[in-house]
């Protein structure tokens, strides 16, 4: 006779604040004489990493269990609102019990952060502007298509938010026709860097302006001063002051890094360039 033949497989537990009458009903209903109290923590899920497993991730009746996969399984424990030690024990027939103590500390509540809503730039499309592309966007990252860069919508840190237009390996080159001659004080384009997604800032952005669409004058070339290995997802503005220049056509050429640089996880693979808007002020 082994202990495993006597041990309780499906342990029913209660928390310290469970009403006594409810605990008594559980004892009667389950025909048990002992009811472990799990304090300052509760189980909210189990798993084992086996993608073909059909076992439940939740046992709302409290009879938590999970098969091992490659000798391991996972338990998700949630702390309560009180600091203290969370005691956890895993048992299985034929195996030594596993016991873990987790110390939960009191924490300051995090401030509420408003969900991200895209900033709106001046909407040139509504004012009759058109963009003529000299390079083709990647169809996987088309955003709003031909008007994406003059629709007034700016992207966020998520390259898949549908507001970024992507160019793989190619430079970005396009001419905006404002439809009439305007006095402009600044040109600006924003780019995303998220090197995990092979998205890099342009190495430089050149702005040229014209009033007839034929003769273009380069008014600024803005170099990138951000390292190509800077991790995380962030947006950088490349702006050029114009000081009241007369413009109708604006040509923007943003140079793609070309290939993911040495040291990158996908070194040698095509680099992507992501732009969301051409802002004329």
By CB under 5 A, name the binding residues for Ca ion.
151, 153, 276-277
Q: How many CA atoms lie within 13 A of 17 on its CB side?
A: 6
Write down the least CB distance from residue 83 to Ca ion, Å.
Answer: 47
Biggest alpha carbon–alpha carbon distance for the chain: 96
What's the DSSP call for residue 271?
P
Q: Are 247 and 280 in contact (CB under 8 A)?
A: yes
User: At 26, which helix (H) or strand (E)?
Assistant: helix 20-29
State the virtual CA torsion across 45, 50, 53, 59 in degrees, nearest 10: -10
Write down the least CB distance from residue 175 to Ca ion, Å.
Answer: 17
Q: Where are the alpha helices (DSSP H) in the chain?
A: 20-29
The SS3 assignment for 195 reads helix
The SS3 assignment for 231 reads coil
Write down the least CB distance from residue 116 to Ca ion, Å.
Answer: 15
Write down the least CB distance from residue 82 to Ca ion, Å.
Answer: 48
Q: Which is nearer to Ca ion, 91 or 135 (CB)?
A: 135
Write down the least CB distance from residue 166 to Ca ion, Å.
Answer: 13
Write down the least CB distance from residue 151 to Ca ion, Å.
Answer: 5
Q: Which is nearer to Ca ion, 147 or 173 (CB)?
A: 147
Q: Are 255 and 171 in contact (CB under 8 A)?
A: yes
When computed from its CA atoms, the radius of gyration of the chain, rounded to whole angstroms, is: 30
Residue 137: C-alpha distances to residues 134, 189, 205 (Å): 10, 16, 17
Write down the least CB distance from residue 148 to Ca ion, Å.
Answer: 5
CA pair distance 173, 254, nearest whole angstrom: 6
Phi and psi of 125, rounded to 5°? Answer: -60, -40
Q: Which is nearer to Ca ion, 194 or 277 (CB)?
A: 277
């Amino acid at each position: 006779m082994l202990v495993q033949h006597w041990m309780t497989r499906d342990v029913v537990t209660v928390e310290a604040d469970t009403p006594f009458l409810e605990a008594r009903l559980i004892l009667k209903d389950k025909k048990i004489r002992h009811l472990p109290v799990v304090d300052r923590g509760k189980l909210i899920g189990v798993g084992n990493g086996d993608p073909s497993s059909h076992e439940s991730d939740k046992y709302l009746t409290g009879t938590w269990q999970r098969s091992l996969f490659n000798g391991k399984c996972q338990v998700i424990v949630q702390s309560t609102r009180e600091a203290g030690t969370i005691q956890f024990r895993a048992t299985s027939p034929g195996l030594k019990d596993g016991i873990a103590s987790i110390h939960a500390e009191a924490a300051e509540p995090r401030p509420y952060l408003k969900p991200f809503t895209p900033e709106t730039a001046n909407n040139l499309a509504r004012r009759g502007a058109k963009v003529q592309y000299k390079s083709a966007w990647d169809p996987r990252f088309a955003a709003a298509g031909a008007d994406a860069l003059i629709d007034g919508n700016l992207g966020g840190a998520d390259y898949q938010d549908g507001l970024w237009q992507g160019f793989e390996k190619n430079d970005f080159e396009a001419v905006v026709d404002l439809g009439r001659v305007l006095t402009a004080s600044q040109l600006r384009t924003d780019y995303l860097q998220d090197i995990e997604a092979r998205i890099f800032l342009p190495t430089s952005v050149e702005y040229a302006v014209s009033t007839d669409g034929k003769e273009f004058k380069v008014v600024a070339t803005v170099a990138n001063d951000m390292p190509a290995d800077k991790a995380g997802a962030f947006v950088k503005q490349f702006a050029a002051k114009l000081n009241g220049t007369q413009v109708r056509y604006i040509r923007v050429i943003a140079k793609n890094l070309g290939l993911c640089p040495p040291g990158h996880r996908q070194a040698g693979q095509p680099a992507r360039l992501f732009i969301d808007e051409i802002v004329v002020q």
